[in-house]
Each structure stands twice: as C-alpha cells, then as structure tokens.
Chains A and B, each alone.
Chain A
Amino acid sequence: MIGEGIQSTNQRKHSYVQDRVEVGFFTDPSVCIGCKACEVACKEWNQVPDDGFTWSGNSYDNTGHLGASTWRHVMFLEQDRAKGDQIAGPMSLDEDPFRWVFLSDVCKHCEEAGCLEACPTGSIVRTEVGSVLVQNDVCNGCGYCVVSCPFGVIDRRPEPLHDAGGAFKCTFCYDRQKSGLVPACAKVCPTESIVFGRLDDLRARGAERVQQLKQSGYNDAQVYDPTETSVRGIHAFFLILGEPEAYGLPPKPQIPTIYLKSAWSSAFATAIASIIATLAAFAFCS
C-alpha cells in the first residue's frame, strides 16, 4: 500500500515463484491518474516494439486496445455521470454531470485460460505463480489462441515488427518474478492503482476497496472478476465504476472449450451419417 514505502508489495523483493504462491494484479481506476507509466515501463522492460503512432481521437487514449505489442493499455473513459460524493456542494454540476475514469487494462491470466487450452504446440503454459505464459520460441503462429481468448488480449504480431509471426501478450514479467522482482507496471505505478501481490490478499483488498468507495458515494463500484462463468475467475482483476461493457470487458466471458462437446457430437454424427449415406448410395444405386 501507498505509505508502506519499500515495504509495499509493489516494491519489496519476494519469492513467490520459488514458493509457488498464486499472485495477481488488482487494478483500481479510482486512484489511477492516467499517466501511462505502466505502458512505458512494460514496453521498455519487455522490449516490446512500437505498433504505430496514430491519433485515435478517443479521449487521451492513442493506444487503442491490448494486442501483440501492447500488454498494458490505459483506458480513458469520459462518462456523463457524477463520480461520487466528492463533487458536492455549491460547485456541483448536477445539470451536467461528468466523470473521467482511467483504467489500466492487461491480460487477465484466467483461471481457465482459453488461449492455453487452444494452443496446439504447448507453447502456452501455466507458471508456478498461476500466470499464463507464451513461450515465444515454441509458438509457430497458428493464430488459434487469438480467437480463443474471451477478452481479446492475445494477438499475432504482424510484419515488419521484431519477432513477427508469433503470438504475444503480457508475461506477468515472469522473468522479473523469477528473480524476486515485481512486474514492471506495478513497480512504476505512482499511485498503486496497479497492485501486485498474493491473489488471496488482493481479492480481500478489492472487496474492501469496493465497500470504501460505496461509502464515498461511488454507488456503481464493483469488482470485475468473472468467477461465476467457465473462466472461473481472473488473476489480474479490476475494480470498475459502472458496467463492464463500457470498458470493453465482456460481461460474461466463457472459455471456448465449453463448446467442444456439442461441436464434436455434431462432427461425429456427421461423420457417421456421411459413411452411411455413402455405403447406402453404393448399395442401392449400383
């Protein structure tokens, strides 16, 4: 926490990888100032290439969305709603409410990960700390993880960028974590809007923060962590103000493997029907 200085979980050394402790990110937009230090730190540490400098016209967000070369993405939401109780009193803009929300989006590191299940090369693995990691030297760029991610995070890096052809996403700074360091984005976050730590601690902290915010008048504060769907929860979860749709987050994400049973049943039925039809054709039409 802020105020803990170098004792904060965002700054102190740890041994989560060695101890096999499940870790996570808790990202809290109510304290995010939209500085994009996380984006810069991520790009610099992981040596992620730039993917173009285009003006989106969407508030102060020219990053757009997560992708093969964007592993942290600060969203800028401009909403015609009051933020909380803090704009109260004579200065209140009751007639024309407005709030600005910043949220740093990242790979969710799902409990049941669509990309990991879909990967035909075994390139995508689960690490000791519960994160989902793409082994870049194994990935052959088949692109199946891209359509299997319910959050649209992972993508294939296009030419002519460095390491083009492979699938990329947030590594949870696995390399840093192995050395007891905190992921780059969390380390640089000046307001600890991104908190890194033990998943169980973070979940408790998230629930507590929602209560705090509700008491301060942020009535639409909620934790975004789809534990009720087949994704069974995410390791990088968020606090959001309002509905998930406004953040481009799916309200009920599902892991695509739940569709396998009905699809394969249909495939087997078609296979058998085709064989029977063919044999019948030769038996009765010869």
Chain B
Amino acid sequence: MTTDSPSEKRLEELREQAWKDGVVPGKGVDVAGGPIPRKPGYYGQPVVKPPVWTWQVPLYFFFGGIAGMSAVIATGAVLFHHVDLARAAMWIAAIAGAVLSPILLIMDLGRPLLFLNMLRVFKHRSAMSMGAWILSAFGACAVPGLIALELHARQIFPGALDQLLRVAAGILIFGSAIFGTLLATYTGVLIGATAIPAWFLHRTLLPIHFGTAGLGSAAGLLELLGHRIPALNFLGFYAAGVETALLIWLSVDKHGVADRAIHEHGSGWLIRISEVLTGPVAFGLRFFSFVPFAAISFLLGALVSRVGWIVVGKVSGSDPESVFAAERY
C-alpha cells in the first residue's frame, strides 16, 4: 500500500485535525481520557424510553378533542334552540368520536385484535384505562344521541314517541357533552402523567391546552361548515384567547435543560408554530372578521400542536440530560 492511497490520506487528515483542534469528533470507541468527547449518562443512552406511538395517536388527540367539544356545543345549541347547529355538531361528535377515534386508537395498538382487553379492567390510576372508558361512554351516548336527534328533527314518529325521542336526545347529548369534555382533556393527563420530563413538567398546562384546542377546533369546523353564528365566533375568540395565554405561560414557565425539547430542536418549532397559529394569529384574523381563515388557522394549529407534543415526548424521552435535570429540579 502506498502512502497516497485514500485510507492513508484519511489517517493523515485525522492526524492533522487532532494536532490542530486537540479533539477529533466522530463515531468510534469511547475511551476514558481519549480525544473523543464523552456523552452524558451512559454513552448518551436514553434513561427513560421515548413513546412508541406513531402518527395515529396525535391524529386521535385531534379528532377526540373535536368530537368531545362538538358535543358540548351541541348541548348549548339544543338548549338555545339552534337545531341545525346541534345536528351538525352531533354528526361531527359521532363521526370523529365514535368512528375515527376508535379506529385510530386500535391501529396504534401493537396487537389490534386484542383491543377489547382495554375494557377488561377499570383502573382510575391509569389515564389510558380511564381514556378507554371515557371514549366508550362517549360513543355510547353520542351515537344514539345523534340518532334520536335526527329522528326527532325529521319528525319520523308521531306524537308521544316523538316527545320521548326529544327527551332521550336531550339526555344523551348532555351525556356526550359530559364525557366529551373529559375526552378532550384526558389526553393531556395521559401524556402529563408519564416519566417523560417535557410532558410531566407541563401536566397542568396540557389538559387546558388540549381541551381548549378541542373547543376552538369544534367551533371552527362548524363555522367552516356554514354555521356562522355569534355564539361560535365568541367561542373562537375564547379559545384563541386562552391559547395566547398558554403561549405566554409556556414561554415563562421554562425548566431549562429539563424541558428543552419544547424550546429547541424541530420539536420546539412545532410547538411554537402551533401556539402562534391557535393563539395570536387565530385571534387577530377573527378580530378583523376573517372568520374562515381564523378557523383554518386554529384547526391547523391544533393539529400541528398534537403532532408537536408527541414529537416533544420522543425528543425529551431520548435525552438523558433532560431526565437528570428534571429529577434534580
């Protein structure tokens, strides 16, 4: 082998770099006292396991939030005699909450065929168990609630039976609203009560954010479907206002290394973009009466935010220094 072969040149390069910088970064054996920088913890290995969840979970958070809060809007609409709005809201609740959400959740399971095992036990100390029961109860209220409402609205049955349907629809829609608020907010508890530092440090903010994002998304989607009424506009303002406040909260309540996944890297950008879209941008557009654009901005932000929080979990869970910092905090 001659001295000008590529491998020999590479060694020459390394020698020059070592001479010049004192350190040669790159893959290789990590030796104590060697020239390669040591990684935090045990060779930089994650201390906790990052979530294994894939794209279905953030999408489920998004649709679950819309479904749950649509049922709340439906209750308001029924009470204040906006029958068409109530019907549209219950359709959204039933499709997003009783069809899309279960499908997405089952798709994410490692063993989808065993999904019914979710209802084997009732564990109040497991947010996942509570979520499975909340979603089931929501579906059990929203689907018959929608059917009763539609039958009543179309006057299919005469007289007393129709009155019975009216009462049944009212009770079932109210039931879906109660479970709906939990469906939209429990997802914040689900990821807040874990060992992932960026998540558990913000366990108080997450349910507020997810619930409010659900409410704003539901109102925005109904507006995009043509229900342009002041009540929904008010809810749009309310949600965008709360999200703006949460944006400020998140930028003040920083935990340094422990939650840096929220403020740095690509995951930080996802959170930032989503907060701006759901907060100030949606609020501003609504203020200047660009209602459909405000609705689109909020929906987009709400979707990006769910993706963002899952990505934050992956980044934060893979970062040993975040775990150490959070525990020393």
A residues engaging B (CB < 8 A)? 56-59, 61, 64-65, 67, 75, 77-80, 96, 98, 114, 117-123, 138-144, 146-157, 164-167, 245-254, 256-257, 259-260, 262-272, 274-275, 277-286
Contact = CB atoms under 8 A, between A and B. Distances in A.
B110 A165 contact: yes
Chief secondary structure at chain A's binding surface: mixed
Given A78-B30, A285-B231, 5 more contacts: A117-B126, A121-B121, A263-B189, A266-B185, A286-B231
Contacts of B48: 147, 149-152, 250
Given A78-B31, A248-B41, A267-B211, A146 B73 contact: no
6 contacts: A79-B32, A140-B110, A140-B115, A149-B49, A266-B205, A275-B177
Nearest to A144: B128
Contacts of B51: 143, 146-147
Nearest to A278: B76
Interface of B: 27-33, 40-43, 45-53, 69, 72-73, 75-77, 79-80, 82, 108-112, 114-115, 117-118, 120-121, 123, 125-129, 131-132, 177, 181-182, 184-186, 188-196, 199-200, 203-208, 211-212, 214-215, 229-235, 238, 313, 317, 320, 323-324, 327-328
A279 B181 CA distance: 14
Given A149-B49, A248-B320, A59 B29 contact: yes
B215 A274 contact: yes
A132 to B, nearest CB: 15
Sorted from nearest, which 7 A-B pairs have the closest CB atoms? A141-B110, A165-B110, A248-B42, A271-B181, A140-B114, A285-B230, A267-B207
Contacts of B118: 120-121, 140, 142
B33 A96 contact: yes
Nearest to B191: A147
Query: Which of B43, B79, B192 has the most chain A CB within a 10 Å cutoff?
Result: B43
Given A117-B126, A263-B188, A61 B49 contact: no
B233 to A, nearest CB: 7
A148 B195 contact: yes
Nearest to A157: B110
Contact of A263 (B40, B204, B232, B324): B204
B100 to A, nearest CB: 18
B208 to A, nearest CB: 5
Nearest to A67: B49
Nearest to A148: B194
A120 B193 CA distance: 14
A271 B320 CA distance: 35
Contact of B203 (A248, A254, A266, A277): A266
Nearest to B30: A58
Nearest to B232: A281
Nearest to B57: A143
B156 to A, nearest CB: 27
Contacts of B27: 57
B238 A277 contact: yes
Contact of B32 (A80, A151, A247, A251): A80
B236 to A, nearest CB: 9
A259 B203 contact: yes
Nearest to A167: B110
B72 to A, nearest CB: 5
A98 B120 contact: no
Contact of A152 (B47, B82, B108, B120): B47
A206 to B, nearest CB: 21
Contact of B313 (A147, A254, A260): A147
A274 B181 contact: yes
B109 A58 contact: no
B206 A58 contact: no
A166 B207 contact: no
A96 B115 CA distance: 58
A106 B230 CA distance: 60
Given A80-B32, A147-B48, A256-B195, A122 B120 contact: yes
B104 to A, nearest CB: 13
B189 A165 contact: no
A264 to B, nearest CB: 6
Nearest to A229: B327
Contacts of B75: 275, 278
Contacts of A253: 195, 327
Given A252-B328, A278-B72, A120 B211 contact: no
Contacts of A143: 51-53, 108, 110
A96 B188 CA distance: 51
Contact of A119 (B30, B126, B212): B126
A213 to B, nearest CB: 21
Given A140-B115, A147-B195, A267 B215 contact: no
